[in-house]
Structure formats: C-alpha cells, structure tokens
Amino acid sequence: MDIRQVTETIAMIEEQNFDVRTITMGISLLDCIDTDIDRVAEKVYNKVVSKASNLVKVGDEIAAELGIPIVNKRVSVTPISLIGAATDATDYVPIAKALDKAAHEIGVDFIGGFSALVQKGYQKGDEILINSIPKALAVTDKVCSSVNIGSTKSGINMTAVRDMGRVIKETAELSEMGPAKLVVFANAVEDNPFMAGAFHGVGEADVVINVGVSGPGVVKRALEKVRGESFDVVAETVKKTAFKITRIGQLVGQMASERLGVKFGIVDLSLAPTPAVGDSVARVLEEMGLETVGTHGTTAALALLNDQVKKGGVMACNQVGGLSGAFIPVSEDEGMIAAVQNGSLNLEKLEAMTAICSVGLDMIAIPEDTPYETIAAMIADEAAIGVINQKTTAVRIIPKGKEGDMIEFGGLLGTAPVMKVNKNSSADFIARGGQIPAPIHSFKN
Amino acid sequence: MKAIITVVGKDRTGIVAGVSAKIAELGLNIDDISQTVLDEFFTMMAVVSSDEKKDFTKLRSEFEAYGETLNVKINIQSSAIFDAMHNL
C-alpha cells in the first residue's frame, strides 16, 4: 500500500465529508398479514425488531473498524397497503405506530414503507393507506411514506395524482415534518436504501442489506485539480472518483451482510449531499465552470455528472440498484439553497434537471397557500418526465410559509427557501382524474 | 486483524520511536513501515497486524490520546478500506 493512497483515503473522509450515508435493511412483512389490525401491528413490530436488532450495533462496529462514518442505519419494509389489506380496518395508523415503536426500539434513524403502489389503480388497501398518511406521519417520528403513481409500463394514475396533491396539503397541516417524510414516485424502485422513498419490494428476498454512499465533496476536490481541462478529462475524473467512493459502499455492504447473516442486495450509487459546507452537489456543478447552479449549462453539467458516477460505480460493485445518480434536493444542499436565494435557481430549472438526474423535485418548500391541484400538477409533470424517459422521478415538496421565507428542518434535512410557484390554475386539468396511458415505447413484449 | 496506522503532524524527534513503542504496548506487530513529508507535514504509515481480533474503538481512542502527547494525529483503520479503494 502506497502512503499517498492511504492519505488520499483519509483526506476524503476527514476533509471532504466522504461517508457511507446509509445501511438499509429491507424486511419483508408478507408473513405478518392477518385479518386483525392489532395482530398485524404486533407481528410487524416483532418481525422488525427480531431481524434488525443488531443493525445499529453492526453498523457502528464497521464504522469504527474502517474509520468512516456510517451516518444512518435504516429499515425498509413491504408496502403497508399490501399488509393491511386483509384487515377490515379503515385506517392503517396502528401499523405506522408499530413501525415507529420498532424503529425506536432498535435505534434506527428511519423506517420506510408506509407505502402504496397505485400506478394503474387502487386496490382495497391502497386508498386506505393513502388516506392514513397525514395522520400516520403526524403521530410518528421515524416512519417514512411513499406512493408510486406512475410507471413507464402503466402510465400515470391521475386520480392518485389528484389524491396525493390533497394528501401532501393535509400532511403539512397536521405536522411540520410530515411532508419531508413523504415522497410521490413514478417508476419507484424496490431496493432503494434512501429515505423517504425506501420500501422493500415483493420481488426481493425476505431480508436484505442495501447500502447508499455519499461523496460530492470528494468529486468536487478531484475536479478542482483539473480546472480548465476539457470535458474528456472532467468525465474521466468523475468516473474514477465515483469508482473509489463506491468500492467502499461495496465493502461496507459485504461486511454488514456477513455479520448480520443477511443477503447483500445492492449499492446505490447516488451522490447524496448534506447541508454541510463541502458536501454539495451544486458546488460540483459550479466547479465545472458555472458561476451559480441554475444558470445555462447546469442541465448539461448534471447530465455528465450523473452518467459518469454511474459508469464508475457500476464497475465497483457486484450489484447496483436503488436510484443511483446525483441527488438534487434543495434544502439538503447549501449550494442549491444559495442559488435559490440569489435568484439563479427556480422550480422550472429544477424540473429540467430532474429529466436527467436520479430523483426529482426533492425537499423543495413552496408557499402554503399553493392549491392542492397545483401540487398535483407538479406531481403529474414529474411523473411524465419519469414515465416517458423510463427513469425514476419523485416529488417531495413542503407547502409551508410564504415565498421568500426560510423553513428549518434541522439535521440532514437542512433549510429550505420557500420558492415561487406559477400561480395560474391547473384545477380543471387535475379534476379530470383517470389514467394517462403508458407511452408507446413501453410495449416491448 | 490487519490495520493501517497513520501519523501526521509537525516533524520532531521521537515520533517513530514513540509510536512504535505504543504499537508494541498494544500487542500489535509492525509488518511494514514507511514515512515521508507530504505538504510540509511528517507523514508515517505502519501496517500492523495481530492474530487476535481487536476492538477498533478502543485502539482508536488509545492512539488518539497518545497522539495528543506527541502533538500529532494518529489514525488506525482496518486495511480493508484501503484495499477496497486502491487495489483491484
């Protein structure tokens, strides 16, 4: 081992905020289905606690051994709409409470999977789950919720889009943090380790370990060394850096899987920022030569970053999955916050950026008087981008305060400036409901 | 276990001697050792091993505390992290 390589790794961790963002244990709850909601809640609690009781301990051990922070330990579960459907309950809040109690008991940061997949229509449990979301997120601390309302194979369920616009508003009315724990997806993935959108797909093994890495600061530092060079050099630099970062995700996943006796699922290659200075995706884009993120050229810069991260990361791992790309949350990225505040970055540009990155409109605060139909229409736009481009898109927006206010979430969720929203109505568009059909290029059989 | 100890700080007499003694005191064997000056800082790296499983949290706090007495920063990490990142 070369001394320079060793000091390079240590500098990544100590100076450039490189960390493993999350070890997420996916747990199937299909064997907890029962006709009685209280028995379901009891079984759910018992299964999560029995499978994940050592997750935090093992995560902390690995962090100490490798000398790298593992910031979050999380659990994702089977979409609760499927688990609750056999009961005659009219809301699934008791299951959310059981998940929350289990998360507190085992000490994980979040538990995801208060979810429903409704891209083509509602089954019995779906509508009950969706209507339970506002209260479930208000009475729990650690439960995260997601709803998939569209897919390339199915099109977009515009009735669900309308309902989710309303649910986001109600969630914001019932709790301050609720909307930050709720994601509306198109093309949701079943092995995502990141919150708030993680759930454990029914095609997965009973229990798996998925890992998400971070490291925008490392990419930025690498790019600082190639200032003025051509994009060929930039692309190669991002790819090599992503490879190094992701190798650590692979290592941590392997170690966690062995020690917990659980199958290793995937490494998610996403570059996840935090509000800390030096841990920003926006600053990586600016390092490529943009005065401020949001200006012309931003979409191209993000496209290069996203693609090269994938190319480097794919080579570094056995199995890649989750969302795997650059995240562009506003509140969790000090560079994005600064760009919104100086007027360079607006909602329309963010929407364009979501066409080529891994997620969507993420952690964006909008005025609390925004009509639910406008929120639904934002969801529809994002879903259309995802469905047509055969990629995941998501909306996690927070209707709170008025334009120009700053909304504090604290911790990894950061601070969000309330952004300007187009005030012209989308109400008649959203009132229609029904299904936008799947695109022609989805018919591949 | 196999680990890599790094020592970074302003050069002075007795760093190698002191750190080596501490490594021995903690029951670790030095497999390889090298040092250089990087960015004006004395930088030393020692590959250490032990037949026994060691508690990294304890080792880390021992070395951190000892580093403070020499006015250097001492890190200990499993060699796995460096192998994963730099060796194919």
Residue-wise pLDDT tens digits, A165-179: 999 999 999 999 999
Tell me A152's DSSP state: T
| ipTM for the assembly | 0.91
pLDDT band at A210 (very low <50, low <70, confident <90, very high): very high
The C-alpha angle A71, A76, A80, rounded to 5 degrees, equals: 150
Residue A360 CA to residue A93 CA, distance in Å, equals 28
Domains annotated on chain B, with CATH: 2-86 (3.30.70.260)
Largest CA distance in chain B: 38
Whether residue A406 lies within 8 A of chain B, CB to CB, comes out as: no
A410 has a pLDDT exceeding 90:
no
Name B85's Cβ contacts closer than 8 Å, sequence gap at least 6. A5, A9, A244, A247, A248
The alpha-carbon gap from B53 to the nearest alpha carbon of chain A, in Å, equals: 11
Cβ B35 vs Cβ B44: under 8 Å: yes
Region A175-189: mean pLDDT is 96
pLDDT confidence band for B37 (50 / 70 / 90): confident
The Cα-based distances of A185 to A391, A400, A427 in angstroms read: 10, 21, 21
CA distances from B20 to A297, A411, B15, B82 (A): 53, 40, 8, 21
Q: Is A3 on the interface with B (CB under 8 A)?
A: yes
| Of the candidates A378, A368, A383, A382, the residue with the CA atom closest to the CA atom of residue A424 | A378
Contact of A171 with A114, CB cutoff 8 Å = no
Residues 6+ apart with CB under 8 A from A22: A70, A71, A72, A73, A74, A109, A193, A194, A195, A211, A212
Q: Look up the pTM and report it.
A: 0.94
Q: Are strands A393-399 and A361-366 parallel, antiparallel or unpaired?
A: parallel
**Using one digit for the tens of pLDDT, what is the confidence trace for A231-240?**
999 999 999 9
Q: How far apart are CA A163 and CA A28, in angstroms?
A: 27
Nearest to A3 among B43, B57, B81 (CB): B43
Residues B6/A10, Cβ–Cβ less than 8 Å: yes
Q: How confident is the model at residue A244 (pLDDT cuts 50, 70, 90)?
A: very high
- What are the residue boundaries of the structural domains of chain A, listed by start? 25-186, 220-239+271-436
Do A25-186 and A220-239+271-436 show the same overall fold? yes
What average pLDDT does the segment A324-335 reach? 91
* pLDDT score of A272 more than 90: no
Contacting residues of A for B77, CB less than 8 Å apart? 10, 65-68
pLDDT at A136 over 90: yes
Mean pLDDT along residues A19-42 = 97
Nearest to A3 among B34, B85, B87 (CB): B34
CATH class entry, domain A220-239+271-436: alpha beta
User: Per CATH, the architecture of A25-186 is what?
Assistant: Alpha-Beta Barrel (3.20)
Q: State whether A244 and B78 contact (CB < 8 Å).
A: no
Residues of B within 8 A of A218 (CB-CB) are none
Q: Which pLDDT band, with edges at 50, 70 and 90, does A65 fall under?
A: very high
A293-303 residue pLDDT tens:
999 999 999 99
Q: What is the pLDDT of residues B39-69, one digit of tens each?
A: 788 999 999 999 988 899 999 999 999 999 9
**Contact residues, chain A, for B83 at CB < 8 Å:** 1
C-beta atoms of A251 and B80 within 8 A: yes
Within A15-141, residue ranges assigned H as helices are 37-52, 55-66, 80-84, 93-106, 124-139
Q: Which residues of chain B are at the A interface, by a Cβ-Cβ cutoff of 8 Å? A: 4, 6, 8, 34-36, 38, 43, 45, 47, 56-57, 60, 75-87
d(Cα B70, Cα B21) in Å, to the nearest integer?
13
- Whether residue B60 and residue A64 make contact (CB cut-off 8 A), yes or no, is yes
A251: contact with B, CB 8 A cutoff: yes
Q: Assess whether pLDDT exceeds 80 at residue A358.
A: no
A4 touching chain B per CB within 8 A: yes
**A378 neighbors A391 (Cβ within 8 angstroms):** no
CB A402 within 8 A of CB A368: yes
Q: Which of A44, A17, A16 is nearest to A29 (CA)?
A: A44
Mean pLDDT of chain A: 95
